[in-house]
Amino acid sequence: MAGVSLFGKESKLKKVLKLSGIDKKDAIYIGDELRDIQASKKIGLHCGSVIWGVNDAIALAALSPDEMFYEVEQILTKV
């Protein structure tokens, strides 16, 4: 969801959940930005962060995402 404002991310996440029919308790939003964690937490959605993107691991961890992913293989174990 690159190029979307923080408020835009929240509304987009809600829309994706609604359209997919997936309950947010069964979903995780994985991103690489601080804004991803903030948007997820604001709507009560489980969130994960990858450390190889926009923000570094220390900055991401400071916002306490539910999951931290250090390599792609870790994500594959979640699906």
Beta strands in the chain, from DSSP E residues, in sequence order: 28-31, 46-50, 67-69
Which domains, and CATH codes, for the chain? 6-76 (3.40.50.1000)
Name the pLDDT band for 1 (thresholds 50, 70, 90).
low
**What is the side-by-side order of every strand in the sheet holding 46-50?**
28-31, 46-50, 67-69
Q: To the nearest whole percent, how much of the chain has pLDDT over 70?
A: 90
Name the pLDDT band for 8 (thresholds 50, 70, 90).
confident
Stated pTM of the model? 0.85
Question: Could you report the per-residue pLDDT of 45-64, keeping only the tens digit for each?
Answer: 999 999 999 999 999 999 99
> In the prediction, which pLDDT does 5 show?
60
